[in-house]
């Protein structure tokens, strides 16, 4: 029996899918195909490969501190999946992330085989993926590194390539001759014509000890710092946290650059299992259009969207009616606080807009108008000088922190459910259509003691209404910043 630990790398920001994907709610947590998020799909895919001699152990999810509650909430919706979350205190790319998972896996078992996948890809043929991963697991059991190579369907210039050599081996794998960077169009066509190249999927299968051995050999600086940060880790609730001060000193490096590209010709064996399973990394809006359900005119429509005399376009409406007339080859994406219009062939460059927003210190690069929190969410529905109006939804049994504000007062009106309100020394219960007032500087808390979601309208008034005007005294989620 081969013990397998699924490892889901969930740290990307997805800037090319702005305005739907933002750093505070990146693309892996979005539902872009099907009924579950890309992250949930990735977790379920790698948990579906068990068979008579492959046993699945607890999933390891590596994500960053900021997204821990998003990941936890979405994992809770997958009833059959058990997972541990390893939190990166600061982004350091995928090599340190996989190292954390390998160290945890070895502590928990007998040097299991890790099935490593990004959290932001889509696969249309689960049967083909399962078969390829099962072959990869068996091939990796002897200490070989296995990478899944995507059988190319076009001379793509946006992907890295893997060159294979020699004949097929026992489990359908081939030796890896070399890795190639993203090519120009002519070189990509040559790769296609040769039949010896696959796209680099970013999915790897290898024993935990194999990864650690290779990293220590090729990048001892990354290995040493990550291992030290892991030794001094802390744990709380469902989270494991490496030490931030040491983790911040780790060089930022990818799995490919740190290890994989150095393996061919070394004493670390690396092979490739080809995969043809409708793979797409959804790296830009054009990719979302490619995998979407196109109508007879080549349009992909999502939400309250209409078109007339429009062709080959993606129209994504999330909060209002969006119409397009007489256009071709466009991406139109609408959210509650931003609209993107782009030539579909230029959708890789959406990240330039995000960079400009960040440079201008505009909040739209990071957060949606609707912001998710561990206790629920809030939607800032209106604001101007000295006032802001929020719609707040609190999960059953959940509670906001005990807090105060230096610069604003708040009025709360209950729309649905029951609110337990702490205001100074008083604790009161409010039901539908009842309201209360929280004076500036008063210590307060909002809790939902009921069995249904609590919804309130909050009206803030004051000289400063920023989210950083919060002083927390108690918080069940450990947030004190």
Mean per-residue pLDDT pooled into runs of 10, the chain (481 residues): 96 88 93 89 95 93 93 91 93 96 92 96 95 97 96 91 93 94 93 93 96 97 96 89 94 95 94 94 92 94 96 96 98 96 94 94 91 94 96 97 96 98 97 97 97 98 93 84 44
Q: Spell out the alpha helix ranges (H) of 360-456.
A: none
* Full 3-state SS string of 406-430: CCEEEEEEEEECCEEEEECCEEEEE
CA angle 161, 167, 172 (to 5 degrees): 75
Read off φ and ψ for residue 216, nearest 5 degrees.
-65, -30
Q: Is the Cβ–Cβ distance between 124 and 47 less than 8 Å?
A: no
Read off φ and ψ for residue 72, nearest 5 degrees.
-65, -45
Q: Is the Cβ–Cβ distance between 137 and 115 less than 8 Å?
A: yes
3-state secondary structure of 280: strand
* Rounded distance between C-alpha atoms, residue 446 and residue 431, angstroms: 13
User: pTM to 2 decimals?
Assistant: 0.91
pLDDT value at residue 7 = 98
Q: Is the Cβ–Cβ distance between 304 and 361 less than 8 Å?
A: no
Closest C-alpha among 51, 55, 189, 46 to residue 116 = 46
CA-based end-to-end distance of the chain:
46
Q: Is the Cβ–Cβ distance between 176 and 273 less than 8 Å?
A: no
Strand pairing partners for 446?
Answer: 421
C-alpha torsion 380→385→387→388, nearest 10: 0
CA angle 285, 350, 96 (to 5 degrees): 85
* Sole residue written with tokens 């990509």: 188
Say which residues have a Cβ less than 8 Å from residue 132's Cβ, sequence separation at least 6. 148, 172, 273, 274, 275, 277
pLDDT value at residue 481 = 44
* Rounded distance between C-alpha atoms, residue 373 and residue 68, angstroms: 10
Strand 426-430 vs strand 419-423: parallel, antiparallel, or unpaired?
antiparallel
3-state secondary structure of 54: strand
What are the chain's domains?
2-275 (3.90.550.10), 285-355 (no CATH), 370-474 (2.60.120.10)
3-state secondary structure of 448: coil
> Residue 381: how many CB atoms within 10 A of its CB?
14
> Residue 95: how many CB atoms within 10 A of its CB?
25
Q: Is the Cβ–Cβ distance between 46 and 59 less than 8 Å?
A: yes
Omega within 30 of 0 (cis) for the link into 19 = yes
CA angle 265, 117, 247 (to 5 degrees): 80
DSSP 8-state class, residue 400: P
* Sole residue written with tokens 């906001």: 400
B/e letters for 393-402, b = 16+ CB within 10 Å, e = fewer, are bbbeebbbbb
* Rounded distance between C-alpha atoms, residue 316 and residue 191, angstroms: 34
* Rounded distance between C-alpha atoms, residue 225 and residue 360, angstroms: 35
* Rounded distance between C-alpha atoms, residue 357 and residue 20, angstroms: 15
């Amino acid at each position: 029996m081969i013990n397998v630990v699924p490892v889901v790398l969930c740290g990307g920001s997805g800037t090319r899918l702005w305005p739907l994907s933002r750093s505070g709610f990146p693309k892996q947590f979005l539902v872009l195909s099907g009924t579950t998020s890309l992250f949930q799909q990735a977790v379920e895919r790698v948990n579906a490969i068990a068979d008579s001699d492959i046993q699945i152990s607890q999933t390891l999810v590596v994500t960053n501190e900021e997204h821990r509650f998003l990941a936890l909430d979405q994992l809770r919706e997958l009833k059959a999946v058990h997972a541990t979350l390893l939190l990166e205190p600061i982004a350091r790319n995928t090599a340190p992330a996989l190292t954390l998972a390998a160290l945890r896996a070895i502590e928990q078992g007998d040097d299991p085989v890790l099935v490593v996948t990004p959290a932001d890809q889509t696969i249309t043929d689960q049967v083909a993926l399962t078969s390829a991963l099962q072959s990869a697991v068996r091939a990796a059991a002897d200490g070989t590194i296995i990478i899944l190579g995507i059988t190319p369907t076009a001379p793509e210039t946006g992907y890295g390539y893997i060159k294979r050599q020699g004949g097929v081996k026992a489990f359908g794998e081939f030796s890896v001759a070399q890795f190639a960077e993203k090519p120009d169009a002519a070189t990509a066509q040559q790769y296609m014509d040769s039949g010896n190249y696959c796209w680099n999927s970013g999915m790897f299968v290898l024993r935990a000890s194999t990864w650690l051995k290779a990293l220590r050999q090729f990048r001892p600086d990354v290995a040493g710092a990550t291992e030290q940060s892991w030794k001094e880790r802390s744990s709380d609730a469902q989270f494991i946290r490496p030490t931030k001060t040491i983790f911040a000193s780790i060089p930022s490096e990818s799995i490919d650059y740190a290890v994989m590209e150095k393996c061919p010709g070394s004493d670390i064996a690396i092979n490739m299992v080809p995969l043809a399973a409708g793979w797409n990394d959804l790296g830009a809006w054009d990719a979302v259009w490619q995998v979407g359900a196109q109508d007879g005119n080549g349009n992909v429509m999502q939400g309250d969207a209409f078109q007339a005399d429009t062709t080959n376009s993606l129209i994504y409406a999330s909060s209002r009616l969006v119409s397009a007339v007489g256009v071709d080859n466009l991406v139109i994406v609408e959210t509650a606080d931003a609209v993107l219009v782009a030539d579909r062939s230029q959708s890789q460059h959406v990240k330039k807009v995000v960079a400009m927003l960040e440079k201008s210190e505009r909040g739209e690069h990071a957060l949606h108008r609707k912001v998710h929190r561990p206790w629920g969410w809030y939607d800032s529905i209106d604001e101007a000088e000295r006032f802001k109006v929020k719609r707040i939804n609190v999960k059953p049994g959940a509670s906001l922190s005990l807090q105060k504000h230096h610069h604003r007062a708040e009025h709360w009106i209950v729309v649905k459910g029951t609110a337990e309100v702490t205001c100074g020394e008083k604790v009161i219960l409010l039901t539908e259509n009842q309201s209360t007032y929280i004076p500036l500087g008063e210590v307060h808390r909002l809790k939902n003691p009921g069995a249904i979601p609590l919804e309130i309208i909050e009206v803030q008034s004051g000289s400063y209404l920023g989210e950083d005007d919060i002083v927390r005294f108690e918080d069940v989620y450990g947030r004190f910043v």
